[in-house]
Amino acid sequence: MRKINANEVQGADFGRRAFVHTPADGVSVEDMLEPGYWGAVAGKLGFGDHMEVLPQNGSYHAELVVLDVGKTWAKMGLVHSVLFNKKANTRQVANPVETPVEESAGGTYVKWSSPHTKFRVHDAKTREVLKDGFVTADAAKAWAETYSAPTAATS
């Protein structure tokens, strides 16, 4: 068994920085997963930094971590997201596994699969996976809209 090296552990304040973001109403967690969203502040961010998010309307809370950063972009990873129902004074942990399955007019549907294969587009008739690896359900739906099912050859 390998033992831990002493320089592999450090105080959290030394190893990473924490930021707080208060987005305007209407900005979703999905919006913040787009690297270009962070262009105005990318220069302040570094790998491993944490971003705590609570929008102005208080509708959700999220924690993001910086996975990669450039001059005009930052790739964020979602650590967790909690949706708040203010009327019922309850919260719901956002879980992509619970994403509803919606069939499109083109005979396809989008469904969360796993952290490895992410969102997948399926053929509604055969349930065959047409394409996977989409980070967001919207990206999978956009691809599904451009997909045209192969037609049977006529002889």
CATH code of the domain containing 70: 2.40.240
Judge whether 1 lies within some domain. no
pLDDT of residue 68: 95
pLDDT in tens, 69-106: 999 999 999 999 988 765 545 545 544 444 455 566 67
Final residue belonging to a domain, choices 61, 77, 94: 94
Dist. CA 104–CA 113, nearest whole Å:
18
Q: Is 60 exceeded by the pLDDT of residue 151? A: no
Dist. CA 36–CA 7, nearest whole Å:
34
pLDDT of residue 152: 47
Judge whether 132 lies within some domain. yes
Same domain, 64 and 136: no
Judge whether 31 lies within some domain. yes
pLDDT of residue 130: 92
Judge whether 5 lies within some domain. no
pLDDT of residue 11: 77
Dist. CA 135–CA 30, nearest whole Å:
9
**CB-based burial label for 93 (10 Å; 0-12, 13-18, 19+):** exposed
CB neighbours of 138 closer than 8 A, spacing ≥ 6? 30
Same domain, 134 and 70: no
pLDDT of residue 97: 43
Same domain, 90 and 101: no
Total domains in the fold of the chain: 2
pTM of the model: 0.53
Confidence of residue 115 (pLDDT cuts 50, 70, 90): low
pLDDT of residue 77: 94
- Alpha carbon 94 to its chain centroid, in Å, reads 11
pLDDT in tens, 118-148: 788 888 888 899 999 887 778 888 888 887 6
pLDDT of residue 18: 93
Same domain, 46 and 107: no
- Give the angle subtended at the CA of 20 by the CAs of 18 and 21, to the nearest 5°: 140
pLDDT in tens, 17-61: 999 999 988 899 999 999 999 999 999 999 999 999 998 878 889
Final residue belonging to a domain, choices 75, 94, 113: 94
Nearest to 64 by CA among 37, 97, 26: 37
Range of the domain at 128: 97-146
Judge whether 154 lies within some domain. no
Same domain, 55 and 101: no
Judge whether 151 lies within some domain. no
Mean pLDDT across 104-119: 75
Judge whether 81 lies within some domain. yes
Judge whether 6 lies within some domain. no
Q: Are 47 and 15 in contact (CB under 8 A)?
A: no
Same domain, 88 and 22: yes
